[in-house]
Each structure stands twice: as structure tokens, then as C-alpha cells.
Structure 1
Amino acid sequence: MAKTPSSSKKNLRAHYSGARKADPRPITGKESPAELLAHAFSAYVGRQERTAFELMRRSMEVDASIFLTLSGAMTPAGLHQSCIIPLIEKGIISALTTTGANLYHDAHRIIGHAIREVNPNAGDLQYRLARIIRIYDLGFWEEALLDTDRLFSALLRRPEFQRKMTTPEFHYLLGKNIAAIEKQLGVKQPSLLSTCYKHAVPIFVGAVQDGSIFLNAVKLKRMLGAEFKFEIDINDDVYWMSAIQHYCRHHFSKKLAIWILGGGVPKNYTLQGEPLLDQILGVPTDGFDIDVQFCVDPVDNGALSSCPAGEGHTWGKVSIEAVEAGSMYVHTDVTAVFPWLTHALLSDSKMKRKPRRLMDVMQEAVAFLDADVKKRHKSLLKTIDWSPDEPKPDAEAHETYVR
């Protein structure tokens, strides 16, 4: 029976009466970051920012395994050293998905190249003549690229890289080697690769071929031929993402959280682990329970970068809980707000825990998922036994499937 206008009005009034009050208070300069967020961020993007912080805190309070995704030129901007590395060192970040570019550009500083502020309006023709590479308002000498290429080419030729591997294995080996170089050079601020190696945080790169580290692998393959045996196993890579999510849900807290910085491939590569489990492999799962994103893209153009949690829920990527009370899309530039929210989070001494060290249990996680998939082997075979002669499903068949 449809609700009458009067009953709808009563429900709306009751809901409104229980809603949180906007509670602005004079800023004295003595407030803690959490107090400032609670009382000075009441509306608009400020409210989105405050709600994101509350969900970041909740991720820790429910001991969720936190998967961080990172797109855009964030390491040139230093976001890894200001925010992400401290979050990893506190045990907050469980797994990382990023672009190859973020890992490549991070290496410039390790080998002594500076990244400097530049005028974005000075003229790119002039910058090119001066051999200055520009990333909006940041710049570095072209030699930084050439020296970084030499670094990764030399590492990729080492014996331990001459096999087929996943991106977490690849970046773990790179991190191990980079850590040794940092120690030898006396580097004071470690790289993201070496930090993740130290804390056994897996680094996934969903489009590894779209980055300069892999471009050096292309060069070496053409130069060395069969002698160069390095290869990325994309099949196992995708499977490992689902395996570690499945393992986390059953061996740590049952909750999964995703913090999305930007969007792009890293966002979807992480989220697709859940529909791979549920829809493809037949292993029941509910999707991520907490979904926090910081992105400048509008949400109305169909782009995956700005896909909200509700849309993701229709794909099985996030849970009902996330849609109803565990999601916030902050329409902003990551670099404008995330350092402040990291400060607010880490100012609370309770916001730390023992690192998950997921790389240490990755093989166990894969075996755990293998066992679940094996139980469903016969039913999975039916999903691939289809012929073009079969009738297309109609609405009645769909209703039967849903029931």
C-alpha cells in the first residue's frame, strides 16, 4: 500500500528531528584536529571531508583491513612521504594498489634528483628546450628520467627477476633491492617501495605496462631476448587480489575498507576482487564495508573514477552497509585535504595497530581461496557450459534467478 502524503511528511519530520545538528563553534587555535572537524566542517565539501574522516576512524575502530588505492601524480607531489608511509608504519594500510608511475617517480629522489616547484604558465616549449619535465606545477631535469631508467634496468637484469611473477612479487623484490640501495646511500626518507617491503604490504599495479618501470622491461626483452625471462603473470595477479581480500575477511576482522585517492585503474582493480569472488568464482562475499574516495571528477558522466558506492553496489563491489552508512565521495583534490585528514587521524594515539604483513601470508591466502573454489568446482563448470543456441533469459527467468 502506497504511503499517503501525510504519512510521508510525518516520517520525514521524524527523520529530520533525529538528524545531526550543525554545531559551529568559535575557533580558538586550541582545538584538537578531531574537534575542529566536528564543529567547523558542517556543510558542503567540508561536511564531505568530516564524514570521510569519521569513516577513516571507523575503519580502524572495527579493525577493518584497509586497501588504499593511489592514482595521479601523487609521489612527485610527496603525498607518499607526508601521508602514506606514516599510515603504513602505523599498521593502518593493509594493501596498496597504485600506478607504475607513482613507483617510478618515487625513485628520482632516492638517487639524488630533486623535484622542484615550477610556474605552470611559463611555457612548455621553453621547458622542453631546457630539458625540464613538467607535472603541472612541479618539475625535474630530464636526467632524472634517464638515471631512473638506468636504475630499474640494472635491477631487472638481476637473477631474482628472471621468472614469471605477480605485481606484488615484483614490487616486493624491487622494494628489497631499493631498501639496500637506500641503506648504502644513507637515504633519510625511504621510498614507498622499500617501506612496503619492510612492512610486507603488497603493492598491486593493475596496468603495469602503462608505466616507465615496465618500459625498461620492454627494452631489456628486445635487447636480451630469451636470456631475459622476467614476465608479469596477469592471471595470478587478479586472483591474488581476490585471495587476499577473502583471506582478510576470514582471518582478521570481517570488515574490509577501501580508501580511494583519485580513481582510475587502481580503484577498479581493487574493487573488482569482490565480484570475481562472488559472481565468477562462486565464493560468497558482500563487498567492501567502508568506501571513502577523494576525487575531482563529477559523478554524472559514467566514468569509473567517480562511480559512487551505490553504483558499485549494483556490481557487487561494496556492501549494503557501505551504501547505507559507510560511504563518502569527497569532491576535491586529494592533495588539498588528505594531509590534513592524515594529521587528524594520527593525532589520536589509538590510531595504530600491528601491521597485517599480508605479503607474508599471500601463499596461504591463495591456498585458502583455492580450497573454496575447489568445493564449487562442479557448479563453476556449469557456468561455462553455454551454447549460442540457448534461449536468451527473459524477465520471468530473471525473477526466478533473483528469488
Structure 2
Amino acid sequence: MVKSSTSNDKAALLSKTVEHIDIKSFDARPIIDAMGKMSFTSRDLARATEIFNMAVEDPECAVILTLAGSTSAGGCMHVYRDLVELGMVDAIVSTGASIVDMDFFEALGFRHYQADSSVDDNDLRALYIDRIYDTYIDEEELQNCDETIKKIADSLDPRPYSSREFIREMGRWLKSNAVKKNSLIETCFDHDVPIFVPAFSDCSAGFGLVKHQVENPDAHLSIDSVKDFRELTDIKIAAGTTGLLMIGGGVPKNFVQDTVVCAEILGKEVDVHKYAVQISVADVRDGACSSSTLKEAASWGKVSTSLEQMVFAEASSVVPLLASDAYHRGGWKSRPPRKFSQLFN
């Protein structure tokens, strides 16, 4: 626990909250149109936005959003929520931090804070403040999040769950208990938009689930990542035409692309992902999953090369522009809801 003598220091550091951007409050269409007449990353973003709008406007296309990195904590949390609320996203694949440590965390009434870059990280540790680049989280509040995950787990039948199943139970719990309403998790619950977190223990949920299993050695739940893969592949098979909006890379990116290959292994004929946009700062020279290009994914039979666009940019600087453009162009207004969660009822 933080000593009382340092509480004033902690309060001073946790005084400037991160405010999440509202894509409805400004119209990015003029700047995206202007960027389309430029070069470099500007033109890449304009083309990516055009491809995303094409996916949204295609009546046969289901859109899958993938999230990796800390853009939710950094101010884009409501962007992703609004894409779901407006019907522009039909399923989500994410890292655990974006869903649990950021979205669920704020739904409990906690906040993220703008950080002072001059503070020593050893001092932050003494104050129980965690740092994500230039963003702070109160560790004591994060432990409350851990404990809440354990409480939800304790209330469920002891059996294997896909992360989608467990996150849906988190959404159900938030319907009655959320301090901050309309989180991404709760919005997805309301709209039957499934959320998958393939590495679910790699976040605040992991601590809560470990404690749940230790305290219930003979009757506890577990998270089945193979079931995640099977369920997401079922969505790809049911969806037919699909488009990807990928923020960052890593496991979520590869997981959703692999559904095409998995469906083929199961003997199902499915199309590659027709539309694909990735926004990343990963360097292609290191050969890692996060930096592999969408053209490379075509060699694996995962993505079409005709309607794909890489945007090498820090996501929080460009995602709001793409999303605002799509909101104001209004292609989402006639999209039918997919309600993929109902596949598993």
C-alpha cells in the first residue's frame, strides 16, 4: 500500500485525466480528401480510409476490428466503442490490456492519466503508479480490477470458457454494476458483437483468474484458446465476405487472418479477407508478426492484395481521422447488424 506521507505526491501526479476523443465532434472528411492528393503517409491514410468505407458500405461484408497496443488508454477508447455502436464493427480480436486493463478498468469508474515524463519510474513504483509511455494508471485501482475479474469467475460454472464467453459475462456484469456506462465491453454485449482475447491471461484478468483457480483448486473455470480459434473461424465461415481494420499487430492480427486457413483445413471454402487496413509503426526489417505486411499475408492465402493498405503511423494520431471520416460519410446507416454472438447461443 502507498504510505500516507506520499499520498499528496500521488494525487498530484494523477490529476490530469486522459480525455477520449469524440469522432462525432469534428468532420475529418475534408482533411482526408486533401491527404488523398498528397504523398507518403497522408496518401496511405486516405486510401486506407477509402478501403474501410468500402468495407462498411459493402452489404455482404462483415468488419472485424483488431486491437494491439495502448491506444485505448491513450484516448481512442470511445472511437472503438462508437464504431460498434454505429454498426461499423461486427467482431473484435484484441490483446487483453485493451479490453480489461483499459476498457473494463474505466467501466469500474477508474481513469487513465496524462503522465509527467520527468518523473523517475522508481518513484512511481513507490507510489504504486504504473506507466504506459506517457500515461499513468493507479496500481491500487488496477488490483481492484483484478479482484473484480475473480469475483465474476467465482460466480460462473467451473468449466472451460472461450475468452468470448467470459468477456460476455463481464458485459453482463457491467449491465448492473458499471460506474461508467457504455464501455466497449458493455456496448458489444448490447449489440451482440463478440470480443476475442486469444492471450487472455496476459493482462489484469490473468491475476484474477489465477487467484480464482488457487482458491478453487477442485472447481474452477479456465480459458480455452483453442475454443477461441474455433469460434472465430465459425464467424469467418458464417460471414463470407470480411474486412479487417487492424490497429497494431501481434497476436490479434495473426489470429484473425489465420481463420481463412483454419476454415480450409476444416474443409470449408471461404474467401480471403477482401478488405484489409493495418495501422502500425512496426518496422518490417525485424521480420516479426507485427511488422509483416498485408501483401505478405496474401502469400499465406489470408488477405487479398487488391484492397489492402498499410499505414505506418502512430495509431492514436490517425485512427480518429479514419473513424470520423467514416462516421460523417454515413455508409454505416444502412448496414444490417450481424449479431455474431448469437451464433453461440
| Pairwise TM-score range, normalised by the shorter structure | 0.7 to 0.9
Measure the CA separation in 2 of the matches of 1:127 and 1:234.
34
Measure the CA separation in 1 of the matches of 2:244 and 2:235.
13
Amino acid across the alignment from 1:360: Q
Counterpart in 2 of 1:383? Answer: none
Counterpart in 2 of 1:194? Answer: 186
Q: 1:314 to 1:218 in 2, by over 3 A?
A: same
- Alignment root-mean-square deviation, CA: 1.7
Q: How many residues align?
A: 316
Measure the CA separation in 2 of the matches of 1:234 and 1:114.
30
Contact 2:35 2:46 in 1 (8 A): no
Shift of 1:235: 2.6
Residue 60 of structure 1 pairs with residue 71 of structure 2: no
Runs of 4+ in 1 over 4 A off after TM superposition: none
- 1:350-375 per-residue CA deviation (whole Å, 9 max, x = no partner) reads 33323211001236xxxxxxxxxxxx
Shift of 1:154: 1.1
Contact 1:263 1:306 in 2 (8 A): yes
% same residue: 27
Shift of 1:190: 2.0
Measure the CA separation in 2 of the matches of 1:32 and 1:207.
36
Q: TM-score by structure 2 length?
A: 0.87
Amino acid across the alignment from 1:133: D
Amino acid across the alignment from 2:182: P
Structure 1 unpaired stretches of 5+ = 1-30, 250-254, 364-403
Contact 2:282 2:312 in 1 (8 A): yes
Shift of 1:132: 1.3
Measure the CA separation in 2 of the matches of 1:140 and 1:177.
23
Residue 237 of structure 1 pairs with residue 228 of structure 2: yes
Residue 224 of structure 1 pairs with residue 228 of structure 2: no
Counterpart in 2 of 1:313? Answer: 298
Counterpart in 2 of 1:283? Answer: 268
Contact 2:278 2:310 in 1 (8 A): yes
Contact 1:286 1:316 in 2 (8 A): no
Measure the CA separation in 2 of the matches of 1:234 and 1:173.
17
Residue 50 of structure 1 pairs with residue 46 of structure 2: yes
Q: TM-score by structure 1 length?
A: 0.75
Measure the CA separation in 1 of the matches of 2:64 and 2:137.
31
Higher relative contact order (CA 8 A, sep 6+): 2
Amino acid across the alignment from 1:357: K
Counterpart in 2 of 1:128? Answer: 125
Contact 2:57 2:331 in 1 (8 A): no
Measure the CA separation in 2 of the matches of 1:348 and 1:161.
45
Structure 2 residue corresponding to 1:348, chosen from 309, 312, 329: 329
Counterpart in 2 of 1:358? Answer: 340
Contact 1:90 1:354 in 2 (8 A): no
Residue 261 of structure 1 pairs with residue 247 of structure 2: yes
Structure 2 unpaired stretches of 5+ = 1-25
Larger radius of gyration: 1
Measure the CA separation in 2 of the matches of 1:122 and 1:32.
37
Q: Structure 1 residues 216-225 or 64-73, which shifts more? A: 216-225
Contact 1:258 1:292 in 2 (8 A): yes
Counterpart in 1 of 2:258? Answer: 272
Measure the CA separation in 2 of the matches of 1:161 and 1:70.
29
Measure the CA separation in 2 of the matches of 1:342 and 1:53.
8
Amino acid across the alignment from 1:126: D
